[in-house]
Structures are given as C-alpha cells and as structure tokens.
Amino acid sequence: MNTNTLINHMLGTKYPLIQGGMANIATGEFAAAVSNSGALGLIGAGGMNVEILRENIRKCRELTDKPFGVNLMLMNPQAEEMAHLLVEEGVKIVTTGAGNPGKYMEMWKQAGMTVIPVVSSVALAKRMEREGADMVIAEGTESGGHVGEMTTMTLVPQVADAVQIPVIAAGGIADGRQLAAAFVLGASGAQLGTCLLVSEECPIHDNYKQAVIKAKDNGTIVTGRISGTPVRILKNKMAREYVRREKEGADVMELEKFTLGSLRRAVFDGDTVTGSLMAGQTSGQLHEIRPLKEIFETMWRQAKEGLTPLDTPNGVRPQVEKC
C-alpha cells in the first residue's frame, strides 16, 4: 500500500494537483501560469523540437519562481535528445507519457530530478517503481489524448495497492467530487488536463474551448483503438470518418491522412471540423471559461468538503446514512 502523503508536500506546490502534458498546448507561459496559480505546471514537449523546448523552459523560469516541470512525450522523435536537455537545463521534475522512460531513469536520478511516469497498467507501475520513479501517474481511459484501456476507477486502487510510492490519479477529474473520489481510491494527488483547456490562460484557439464547452457527456470518441495508438478526441467530422474507415479495415497509411497535422489545426487555427480536438470525458461537465486560480481553488474547496479528515485522505470512510 502506498503512503498517505499528499504530493504538494513533496513537490512544493500549494495544491496536490499537477497539469497534464498536453502536447502543442502547454507552453512555458502556460506552465508558469499553472504554477503561479498553485498547481504544478508542466511544459508539454510533445509537439516541440529540442530548441523550442529549451526556449520554453527558459521562458517558464522567467515567469515563475514556483516549481515547474516538463512532460516528455516518448513518441516524440527527439525524445532522446530532450531527455538530455532536461538535465542540461536543470529541470527538476519530469513526467513522461506514451512509453517506458526506463532508459533515462538512471541519468535523471543522478541529476537529482523527480521522475513521474504516466502508467496505464499495474505491471508498468511496478516496473517504474523498481527502476526508481518517485511517483506514478495512473491515467484512466477517461483522459483526453493518448489513452490506455482501464478506467481511473479501476486503475488507481490497483496501482495504489501494488506500489509504495505516491500515486497521482488522472483521467476524469474536473471538479472537487472527482478529486475527493481520487483520494478515496488511494491517490495522493491528481493530474488535470481537460478542465484546464477551458481556463482563461490556456493558449488554444477559442473555437477549441467553445467545442469543449458545447460537448455533452458522450461527446468524445477514441480513434486508433484498432489501428494502433488510441487517442481520445471530441467527436467531429474527422473523428467519425476516421473511426468509420478504421472499422472498415483501412490501413494505417490512409488513417494517418486524417490525423496528419490535425492537432495543430485544432489548437492554432481553431479548425473544429478536420482538427483533432484532444479532450477527455469530463468535457460534458465543463460549462464556462474560468481563470486557473479559480479552477484550482474551487476544486480544492469542494474536495475538502467531501473529505474528512483531509490530512488522511486514504483513510476516509464514506458516511452512510441509515438506509
């Protein structure tokens, strides 16, 4: 069983909350805004090259004196060089996604970094702990972007039972009720993505924000479940055609035509028809654009109201009234 320590004590943040990697979205400026609002901001290296990542790290450092980190998307063709860059630039915290960061672990640990891989299975969580990870992010399939199979509800307690290091819950957390639930499941913190897309500070095109706000509970779909890389996005013309052709047995080359450049089209051009609007299943509960500070404050207050005592979240028992 893992510890009860909330991750804010370990990371030096106000809240036990971290921001998701969000490739092409989470710039140095955005990460700094998240850190200045009380959570851990992360620069999403996913859509960057080495030089752009370096610039974003320096920009972030200029804009905040609070802790921040980098999310290294391991499918990035320059992931290896980026892994070294993080050491060179003195980045203190790294989260990883879309692969196994095992080969960088020794280098990062020697540099004194806090290493937090995203896992979507118990086996990988145990392996990451063995190899020296400081915490793991257990990410359920409710998340936006690249997803695994298991739900947050089933993955988090199983990972929490299997490792000693703190577990951060991710996927399906956008308000205080869900944050409180994550603690009850054994998490020591939460990673947020979709609810930050609709923050004032998020640098995506306004059409993208409005599409998240308009989305209903079943407004997302997973492309690539059959063909390789499952990615959760908002339903639109591109997503529907992709999944239809995928079911008809289209090959990867044809399917790639749908997704080529599609995330950038959504983020920068606001193309909600052929763009890939990565977003999680919480989209249906998000109805307004708010400042980051307010999002974190409200979520934390609501979670506290649902949890007693807050300091021992993993020991919480539901108060069941007489039936």
Q: 22: how many CB neighbours lie within 10 A of its CB?
A: 27
Q: Which is nearer to ligand TUI, 98 or 211 (CB)?
A: 98
Identity at 265, one-letter amino acid code? R
Least distance (Å) between residue 143 CB and ligand TUI? 7
Q: Which is nearer to ligand TUI, 57 or 119 (CB)?
A: 119
**What residues line the site for ligand TUI (CB under 6 A)?**
23, 46, 73, 75, 97-100, 118-120, 124, 139, 145-148, 229, 231, 278
Name the residue with the smallest CB distance to ligand TUI: 145
Strands 68-73 and 114-119: unpaired
Write the CA distances from 269 to 138, 186, 187, 273, integer angstroms: 32, 40, 37, 11
| CA-wise closest residue to 223 among 192, 254, 265 | 254
Distance CA 19, CA 295 (A): 12
Least distance (Å) between residue 145 CB and ligand TUI? 2
The per-residue DSSP string of 263-289 comes to HHHHHHH--TTTS--B--GGGGG----
Write the CA distances from 144 to 24, 29, 132, 176, integer angstroms: 13, 21, 27, 19
Q: Which is nearer to ligand TUI, 75 or 273 (CB)?
A: 75
Q: Which is nearer to ligand TUI, 46 or 176 (CB)?
A: 46
Least distance (Å) between residue 74 CB and ligand TUI? 8
Least distance (Å) between residue 229 CB and ligand TUI? 5
Least distance (Å) between residue 257 CB and ligand TUI? 14
Q: Which is nearer to ligand TUI, 197 or 307 (CB)?
A: 197
